[in-house]
Amino acid sequence: MSNQAPQLLLDILPAPAPTLDNFIAGGNGEALAALRGIGPGRAIYLWGPAGSGRSHLLAAAVRAHPGAVLCGAATPAREFVALAEGGVPLVAIDDVGRLDERQQAAVFGIYNRWRESAAAEQRGFALVVAGDSAPLRMPLREDLRTRLGWDLVFRLDLLSDADKLAALHAHAAARSLDVTPELLEWLLTRHARDMRQLTALLDALDRYSLATKRPITLPLLKTMLAAQPRPPAD
């Protein structure tokens, strides 16, 4: 049998783009609801450990607001300064704790501009910032630390394994995939723990099953993963 069709499916599709709809909230439902309803003049600070979904939510908020801008440590300070002039509906700033002094100074200006314009909806904008610690514990200049808590603050918790299994079951059911609990538990404990990667793997397995004309089973999943091209040796 030709390997061409399966090989096309072994190039596992990149994880789907982050949206508010595909964020698995778990115990973070209040933060998700606040982002769904955010509008001009509101600010949200999200904090939590790596893997809690901070970057997903920021990227999703930007996708939900055409014209919004997402910034981070790789964004030149001059671009932060330009954002302080306004003109965009939503500014999202990820990993604020990694910003250098010039970037922090510019974000300080963005917060001041946000507060000044908050009373004027026609000129106001929304602000969403994320970091790995509570506002007053962030390694930032003092005047910026205090501004992180000016409006809404949400701590993001990691999903439990039960939350992840429930989300994988729901994703499989939505695609009418006949998967066993054994397969999903193996996938969760032996492979990537990021939910977007896990759901992308399920989608790839569905395509691989169709291409090989074999039912979705744990042995088929292992075969698909084993057949992926290995990275070249150094």
pLDDT averaged over consecutive 10-residue blocks of the chain (234 residues)? Answer: 40 69 90 95 95 93 96 94 87 96 95 85 84 94 95 93 86 86 88 74 89 92 80 50
**Does 94 lie in the same domain as 61?**
yes
Residue 199, number of CB atoms within 10 A of its CB = 21
**Does 139 lie in the same domain as 173?**
no
Alpha helices in 125-215 (DSSP H): 142-148, 161-174, 181-190, 195-212
DSSP 137: G
pTM above 0.85, yes or no: no
Can you tell me the distance from the alpha carbon of 79 to that of 170, in angstroms, rounded to the nearest whole number? 41
Whether residue 68 is contained in a domain is answered as: yes
Candidates 95, 90, 91; CA nearest to 80 is 91
**Does 196 lie in the same domain as 108?**
no
Tokens 């501009």 belong to residue: 113
**Does 71 lie in the same domain as 144?**
yes
- How many Cα atoms are found within 13 Å in the side-chain-facing hemisphere of 160? 5
Contact yes or no for 152/34 (Cβ under 8 A): yes
- Determine the structural domain holding residue 106 and report its residue range: 29-155
**Does 116 lie in the same domain as 93?**
yes
- In this structure, what CATH number is given to the domain that contains residue 117? 3.40.50.300
